């Protein structure tokens, strides 16, 4: 089949069983990994980027040739750079200086204008806090107003969870033959978890939110460690719009070192070269099989590629 554009290659990623890891750790159960790091922009955010832009063009909130602006850790920006480039929209990505430099370079290579915002006082490179994100959002709002642009708003636009309710969730269910008993995901914008849960929960699948240790705002806990190395989520922003009303089975926490170990385990044991958030998802799935989901089948998403972390401590 010849596709009309790379946008049409977004979706239908493979689902792979992590049998080697389960054997090595002597786990009672199975882990299935959705390889969204194989999407054109090397991350699951391609799905939301396509959905948001297509929905906005369809309902008229995004005009032909209008500029698109969005805050990003790099993954959503990469997806938007691809989709906007194909559909003829200038794209401005606004990101924190705390994110890895590979992400900014990739977005620029794809034709995006990248505005890098200095981190808040006391923040560390490689660790993006809620305070850092607030500064990025302020700049994104200003640029949107100045350029009469469309704000993609991954944290609020319905196209984000819709991409996963109609794509990721059904794909996991169909590819697994309906054997999945649990799903967990590191909550960034909350779109993946909300959308997948919308599809899988009515089918008896228990869905869990994964947050950084010490920053479990979604679980209703006080934030004691706002800084962490798991880029793209866990900003301790409190309630996420997309997860409002989502029926979750529980909230899991993963430390930075555990996420790092998970990513390294994926690489050396399963040949899956992924980033921090995928490592966090693996660590959470392991905890589930050692606890409430023992004997079950847990699905996770491999959120992005390890290539986006070569400048960080992930592969040192």
Same domain for 139 and 62?
yes
Separation of alpha carbons 144 and 151, rounded Å: 6
Same domain for 240 and 303?
yes
Separation of alpha carbons 14 and 59, rounded Å: 32
Same domain for 166 and 263?
yes
Instruction: Decide which of 87, 116, 151 is a domain's last residue.
Output: 151
Same domain for 167 and 298?
yes
Residue 38 belongs to domain spanning: 6-43+158-315
Tell me whether residue 110 is in a domain: yes
Separation of alpha carbons 36 and 137, rounded Å: 26
Same domain for 302 and 244?
yes
pLDDT for 251-291, tens place per residue?
999 999 999 999 999 999 999 999 999 999 999 999 999 99
The CATH number that applies at residue 103 is 3.40.50.1100
List b or e across 189-212, with b for residues whose CB sees 16 or more CB atoms inside 10 angstroms: bbbbbbbbbbbbbeeebbbbbbbb
- pLDDT band of residue 100 (cuts 50, 70, 90) is confident
Separation of alpha carbons 260 and 80, rounded Å: 27
Same domain for 27 and 56?
no
- Strands of the sheet containing 113-117, edge to edge, are 113-117, 91-96, 68-71, 150-151
pLDDT for 122-173, tens place per residue?
888 777 777 888 899 999 999 999 999 999 999 999 999 999 999 999 999 9
Same domain for 168 and 231?
yes
Tell me whether residue 196 is in a domain: yes
Same domain for 208 and 306?
yes
Same domain for 116 and 220?
no
Instruction: Decide which of 121, 151, 181 is a domain's last residue.
Output: 151
Active site members: 45, 277
Tell me the pTM: 0.94
């Amino acid at each position: 089949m010849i596709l009309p554009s790379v946008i049409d290659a977004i979706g239908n990623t493979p689902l792979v069983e992590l049998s080697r890891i389960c054997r090595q750790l002597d786990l009672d159960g199975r882990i299935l990994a959705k390889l969204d790091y194989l999407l054109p922009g090397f991350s699951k955010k391609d799905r939301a980027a396509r959905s948001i832009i297509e929905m906005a063009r369809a309902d008229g909130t995004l005009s032909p040739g209008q500029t698109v602006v969005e805050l990003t850790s790099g993954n959503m920006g990469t997806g938007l750079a691809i989709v906007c480039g194909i559909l003829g929209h200038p794209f401005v990505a606004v990101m924190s200086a705390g994110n890895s430099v590979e992400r900014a370079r990739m977005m620029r290579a794809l034709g995006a204008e990248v505005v890098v915002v200095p981190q808040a006082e006391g923040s560390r490179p490689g660790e993006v806090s809620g305070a850092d994100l607030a500064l990025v959002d302020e700049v994104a709002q200003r640029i949107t107003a100045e350029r009469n642009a469309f704000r993609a708003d991954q944290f609020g636009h319905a196209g984000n969870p819709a991409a996963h309710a109609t794509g990721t969730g059904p794909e996991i269910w169909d590819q697994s033959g309906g054997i999945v008993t649990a799903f967990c995901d590191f909550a960034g914008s909350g779109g993946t978890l909300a959308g997948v849960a919308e599809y899988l929960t009515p089918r008896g699948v228990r869905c869990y939110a994964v947050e950084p240790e010490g920053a479990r705002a979604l679980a209703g806990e006080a934030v004691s460690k706002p800084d962490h190395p798991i880029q793209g989520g866990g900003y301790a922003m409190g309630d996420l719009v997309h997860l409002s009303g989502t029926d979750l089975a529980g909230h899991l926490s993963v430390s930075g070192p555990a996420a790092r170990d998970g990513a390294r385990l994926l690489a050396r044991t399963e040949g899956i070269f992924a980033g921090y958030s995928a490592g966090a998802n693996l660590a959470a799935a392991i905890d589930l099989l050692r606890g409430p989901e023992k004997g079950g089948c847990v699905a996770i998403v491999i959120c992005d590629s390890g290539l986006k972390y070569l400048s960080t401590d992930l592969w040192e």
